[in-house]
Copies of this chain bind each other. A is one copy, B any other.
């Protein structure tokens, strides 16, 4: 368990000790002020995806179990509340971004050959890759169909652009698989595409549809982008140090798929030659013991500490972006949400 097991190696100077130790609130704690809009988004989500084919309906119902945190819908709604008033468009947009996110989860599980997500079988594990490819497509096309129910093309354009970048980021990551020379800036470029863009556009849409001006909308987009980068680094740390029982999903898939993430990149940057050679050997032939053996080296060179520092900088930057907003409950919740991002039981 991340919060307990690795607390001894954290502490970066940029984050408060209580956040580092995972004592802050969970994302669920932030949702009370937007509960009715979130429920409406759920209703729209289910209605849009309903199918006359029982098999399709079964798949849709199953993958709803994957969506535990509702991070992106919550951001659409809280960013809207932080800058103005929510409109009937907000729950629609919240459902759209969650649908896109669910599509990427279903397809990611194919790429990672994952078997478990949120304690449920993945679509590929239960029904095979073909069904998972098609269900992901179904989620993508319904998301755009739903976005097109709004009055203007703006949401379709913004979400289209963001998902274009998500796909490019993911392709870039696949391209760099097995590349032991991957540098930190390429890694950050990849995670900005594959994770941060969708979170950024969620915040941007929430702000714009609540009447925010261009500057405020851009600020909230930046908030989302930095939050998303911090979030992905924390997720990559979890893949190396977390426990599957707690995480509720397959772990170690980055190593298995020879995807280099920040702690490993850091290790290869700072360790002496003989350690680098051993790590190269482990990464070139990943097996069931790789994660455990690698972790000794990762701990010895304080790579977890370093990764938290970088994630912490993104959190700080995201908080700075919010400074433009007037004080409000929603702003406080967004700030708390950003601070909690390094908790892995959220």
Contacts and interface: CB of A to CB of B under 8 A. Distances in A.
Interface in A143-175: 144-153, 156-157, 159-161, 163-164, 166-168, 170-172, 174-175
- Best-buried of A128, A166, A175 by chain B (most CB within 10 Å): A175
A110 to B, nearest CB: 6
A275 interface: no
A246 interface: no
Task: Give the copy number.
Answer: 2
- Best-buried of A147, A156, A166 by chain B (most CB within 10 Å): A156
A133 interface: yes
Contact of A157 (B55, B148, B172): B148
A140 interface: yes
A153 B147 CA distance: 9
A109 to B, nearest CB: 10
A136 interface: yes
Given A53-B172, A134-B174, A153 B148 contact: yes
A137 B136 contact: yes
Given A153-B150, A153-B153, A161-B145, A140 B138 contact: no
A16 B159 CA distance: 49
A63 to B, nearest CB: 13
Given A133-B133, A137-B140, A56 B168 contact: yes
Contact of A168 (B53, B157, B170): B53
A59 B171 CA distance: 10
Interface residues of A, number: 47
A127 to B, nearest CB: 8
Contact of A164 (B55, B142, B157, B175): B142
A107 interface: yes
A130 B174 CA distance: 8
A129 B129 contact: yes
A111 B124 CA distance: 12
A51 to B, nearest CB: 6
A141 B163 contact: yes
Contacts of A150: 153
A135 B111 CA distance: 12
A141 B168 CA distance: 11
A124 B39 CA distance: 40
A131 interface: yes
7 contacts: A53-B172, A55-B172, A138-B168, A138-B171, A140-B141, A142-B164, A144-B144
Given A55-B172, A56-B168, 20 more contacts: A51-B168, A53-B168, A53-B171, A53-B175, A55-B171, A110-B133, A131-B171, A134-B174, A135-B167, A138-B171, A140-B140, A140-B141, A141-B160, A141-B164, A146-B160, A147-B156, A148-B160, A151-B153, A152-B153, A156-B156
Closest 7 CB pairs of A and B: A145-B160, A148-B156, A138-B167, A141-B163, A144-B144, A55-B175, A148-B157
